[in-house]
Amino acid sequence: MRFFLEQYGNEQFIYCLHGNRTIMANQKQITVEMIPTGEATAIIPIEGGKKKPVTVIGTEAIRETFDETCLQQTVNSRTAPGVENLVLNPDAHMGFGAPIGCVMSSSSHIYPGPVGVDIKCSMSLLQFDLPADQILDRRIRRALINAIVARTPTGAGKGQRNAPKSRHVPLKIGKMAAIAGASEEVCHQLGIPLSWRQRCEDSVHTGHDETGDALSQRLEKLIKMGMFPNVEEKISQLGSYGGGNHFGECEIVHIADHDRARNAADMFGLKDGCVAFLSHCGSRGFGHNLAVSQFKTLENYFRNWGIPFPSGDKQLVYAPLGTPEANDYLDDMALGANFATVNHLLINALILEAFEETFPGIQGELVYLISHNIARREVVDNKVVWVMRKGATRAFPAGHHALKDTPFYQTGHPILLPGNPQSGSAVMAAEAGAEKSLFSVNHGAGRALGRKQAFRQLDQAKIDQSFEEHDILTNCRKYPRDEAPAAYKNFDEVLRSVTLAGLAKEVARLQARFVIKDESKADD
């Protein structure tokens, strides 16, 4: 075995030669070397070593899951103008321009692709003081499912009118939520506990000039331009899950058996052997409108100005920071992000209300709300850059300067990683080694099968039988085939990659007892 030492800037990489992959990138055929640098890390050299290589997180088994399109998007994204760092996480798979499961940084450009069309798609976890044995009875779980779907609708386009016990959001308050995020007034109007604001990665996002006024002006301009002809309908989606891979899951918390996990769990507010509720959703149709419009607007600028798309991919459009186009994108992203924040908090308030209906006097506290589709201004290599996380989650360890005024300075913040209902999900805390991945980890297991593949290859009867065997209830008569556990990567191997790479350690495993999904897909 031959070992090599190479230097890129101030960093050195020791690696051994490994298998190559031939792909199309930058509109020509190239050979991609994925060179191991550890048991769960590797690099992809770029342009013969002229640029800093892509950092790859994943064991050999995980790296084999990266298909040609994923690697093509990886190289295209890394060689795009202004991109300084790119990390490929173990859940990586084909995305919109950039792979889902990647992290990109730039001090000069902002890219909508590595944020995606569901701005601030996020995870949140609500912890109850309810022992697990209280929901063993399937009739109790069915009552909880009914109470939840009566308050939090699922399905594309569904909003408050589709759930009889939902919380009506007036247009004025909905616009305020997009502008001010989880402000005291918004929380008061929607019945969201004020203490939950301290359990958000970001409870409010400001405009390009770090003010809320920029967002107020931008939203009014968008409405006048006809961007939101159905703005009241979009506002009515606050407090709803939507479709696709979004879900709500009732969990049992199992804290890992070591002191560090127990200390972190105590700080996070996790209760061993008790019921919790995990939610996955984003900015719904409101954020989708904003994101899709930005892609179209920037595509038109490129065409009108005669600027070539990076690697010929129109989904890799960008705007140089400081330009009006970049400012507009950052404002629109912040509006969508604020909407997503309030959407999650309202869902959790409604979930708590649903559990109170079945278990009067129950107490529920938000553990954390963390995004995996967002761009944030952070410090990388001693300079301020925009870090764009697409299907990737922030991972700041204990002692990180950004956590100094939060409850998590001594432990690192909670990382919420969904796997699948049958393999479970995880709560983790970052290690110092997360620096190598731009302080990021994967946002979940990542898809192993595309949606069309899943429909072709997976058997509906076997999927439904597997849920019965695991005693996991759902609100769907038939579980969506494209969301079946077999459509996703091996979650244990994904977590193993994160641990071996030194990015984070497991604090708790979450065991699903029932799942809320898009019931409109039940007959697909």
3-state per-residue secondary structure call for 195-217: HHHHHECCCCCCCCCCCCHHHHH
Q: What separation in angstroms does the CA of 247 have from each of 167, 196, 271, 437? A: 19, 20, 22, 27
Does 443 participate in catalysis according to the annotation?
yes
Identity of residue 204: V
Could you tell me if 394 and 376 are in contact, meaning their C-beta atoms sit under 8 angstroms apart?
yes
> For residue 314, what are the contacts with CB-CB under 8 A and spacing of at least 6?
295, 299, 302
Q: What is the rounded distance in angstroms from the CA atom of residue 19 to the CA atom of residue 64?
A: 11
The catalytic residue among 188, 205, 443, 470 is: 443
Judging by DSSP bridges, how do beta strands 35-38 and 41-46 pair with one another? antiparallel
- Cα gap 179→172, rounded to integer Å: 11
- Contact between 348 and 372 under an 8 Å Cβ cutoff? The reply is no
Separation CA 114–CA 97 (nearest Å): 7
Residue matched to tokens 């204990």? 398
Single-letter residue type at 158:
K
CA distances from 41 to 16, 63, 392, 413 (A): 12, 9, 16, 23
Question: 418: part of which helix (H) or strand (E)?
Answer: strand 415-420
What's the token pair of residue 237?
């989606």
- Rounded CA separation 328/325 (Å): 5
Nearest-angstrom CA–CA distance, 338 and 203: 8
Q: How many CB atoms lie within 10 A of CB 81?
A: 13
**Per-residue b/e over 402-440, b at no fewer than 16 CB within 10 Å?**
ebeeeebbebbbbbbbbbbbbbbbbbbbbbebbbbbbbb
| Owner of token pair 């697990």 | 132
Whole-angstrom distance, CA of residue 492 vs CA of residue 420: 11
Distance of CA 385 to the CA centre of its chain: 20
> What's the rounded Cα separation, in Å, for the pair 114 and 46?
19
DSSP H or E segment with residue 176:
helix 171-180
What are the residues facing 32 on neighbouring strands?
21
Residues involved in catalysis: 443
